[in-house]
Amino acid sequence: MVKARSDNWRINKSGVMAIEGAQILRSLQKVAGAAGLPKEYKVTFATKAQTSQISFDNKSIVIGAGRLFTDAPMPADKFDVLVGLTLHEVGHQQIRTDMVEREVVSHVMGWETKRQLLFHKFVNIGEDIAIESRIRNNKNLAEYDEALHNWGVNQMRDADPYKLLDVWIEYSLGHKSTTVMSLPPELDEPMQQLVALTGWLRSPTTPYHVDRVAAYENYWKSVEDVVMNPPVPPPPPA
């Protein structure tokens, strides 16, 4: 079994949940600072929350550990996942996802709600791909992202082959190609477009936020129809 990376450096631990939570928070704050998070950002550790997120307006990062923080002291393999979550949220600040969001909000003004939501989901997937690639390209951080990925894949259901964005998530972030190989014909070409976008987002140097926005807008045009109006599965055999 591969030794958890944080076993090499995390010293302060406690068997008391409240104290362990405080120790984890201090460790994650140090991780975020070392990864380049500006000092004005506040990192909080939410022991009950199911998701993690960054707020650019409030300059805060919330690391949700509802599915991880069940024991004190926290096992090192789970702590590696928390580090991966922290690095991912810091990554949004580092690649200026806030600037992307600002442009997207302006771009979708006047769109119907469903179209806005799907385009936001499309962009969010792209930003996650760019961040994952950025972290994986740093040999000192890659193992934490791999720990996050392995944990996330265990939570992931198989993608619906008729829902293109779900297939893209499975392919690009789940690193699985099973569903890609069994797509309905209507999704073959749109998926090839997303494979191309994925490769571009994984460039050794993360594309500048202005270029990412332009790419999202351009690639969206080639997949929008099947995302908005997915093909209907054939009826089950009688």
pLDDT tens digit sequence for 126-152: 999 999 999 999 999 999 999 999 998
pLDDT score of 2 more than 60: no
Instruction: Answer yes or no: is 142 within a domain.
Output: yes
Same domain? 103 vs 68: no
- Number of structural domains, the chain? 2
Same domain? 107 vs 13: no
Same domain? 20 vs 108: no
Instruction: Answer yes or no: is 236 within a domain.
Output: no
Q: Mean of the pLDDT values across residues 2-30?
A: 87
- Of the pLDDT bands very low, low, confident and very high (cuts 50, 70, 90), residue 186 is very high
Nearest alpha-carbon partner for 225 in 184, 187, 178, 172: 187
Dump strand ranges (E) for the chain. 42-46, 53-55, 60-64
- Of the pLDDT bands very low, low, confident and very high (cuts 50, 70, 90), residue 1 is very low
Instruction: Answer yes or no: is 57 within a domain.
Output: yes
Instruction: Answer yes or no: is 87 within a domain.
Output: no
Cα separation, 136 vs 207, whole angstroms: 15
Cα separation, 226 vs 238, whole angstroms: 27
pLDDT score of 220 more than 90: yes
pLDDT score of 19 more than 70: yes
Same domain? 126 vs 16: no
Same domain? 101 vs 26: no
Q: Mean of the pLDDT values across residues 112-117?
A: 98
Q: Is the peptide bond before 235 cis (omega within 30 degrees of 0)?
A: no
Nearest alpha-carbon partner for 63 in 2, 21, 111, 125: 21
Same domain? 63 vs 111: no
Q: What are 114's two structure tokens?
A: 């469903």
Instruction: Answer yes or no: is 47 within a domain.
Output: yes
| Domain hosting residue 52, numbered range | 5-79
Among 48, 79, 110, the domain boundary falls at 79
Q: What is the pTM of this model?
A: 0.93
Same domain? 63 vs 147: no
Q: What does DSSP say about strands 42-46 and 60-64: parallel, antiparallel, or unpaired?
A: parallel
Q: Mean of the pLDDT values across residues 63-74?
A: 90
Same domain? 101 vs 199: yes
Same domain? 120 vs 56: no
Same domain? 215 vs 107: yes
Cα separation, 164 vs 223, whole angstroms: 8
The contacts of residue 81 (CB under 8 Å, 6+ apart) are: 68, 147, 148, 151
Same domain? 23 vs 141: no
Instruction: Answer yes or no: is 88 within a domain.
Output: no
Instruction: Answer yes or no: is 175 within a domain.
Output: yes
- What pLDDT digit, counting tens, does each position of 69-111 carry? 999 999 999 999 999 999 999 999 999 999 999 999 999 999 9
Query: Which residues lie across from 45 on neighbouring strands?
Result: 63
Cα separation, 206 vs 28, whole angstroms: 24
Q: What are 56's two structure tokens?
A: 């650019």
Cα separation, 215 vs 107, whole angstroms: 13
Instruction: Answer yes or no: is 136 within a domain.
Output: yes
Same domain? 220 vs 155: yes
